[in-house]
Amino acid sequence: MDQDIITAVIVERESEDFAALLTQAKEHCRALEILESNIAEEAIPDAGINKGDLFLKMRAPSGHGLNVGDELGMDKL
């Protein structure tokens, strides 16, 4: 099975329940596993990450259907 590495950025989080946010992001991105998650201590402009954003790197099957810049709606927790 072909796989991709996806970086997701949660820019407007209303909850500090990180476990729930990670679970939602994994489901929305159809990811197989979360490889890394962190809060950005500084901006990473090339990845579209601003200081304070929660970002995740995930492994997903190639047929995930996402494109660079896609915005996913997260449920309010």
**Which sign does the torsion angle of CA 5, 11, 12, 13 carry?**
positive
- Given a cut of 50, whether residue 77 has pLDDT beyond it is no
* Predicted pLDDT at 63: 80
Where exactly are the structural domains of the chain?
3-63
Query: Residue 39's beta-bridge partner residues?
Result: 54
Whole-model pTM: value is 0.71
Conformational region of residue 3, where left means phi above 0, alpha means psi within -120 to 50, and beta covers everything else? beta
- Per-residue pLDDT tens digits for 34-73: 999 988 899 988 877 889 888 888 999 888 777 777 766 6
* Predicted pLDDT at 19: 86
* Predicted pLDDT at 68: 74
Rounded to 5 degrees, what angle do the CA atoms 48, 53, 56 make?
A: 80
* Predicted pLDDT at 42: 94
Nearest-angstrom CA–CA distance, 6 and 68: 9
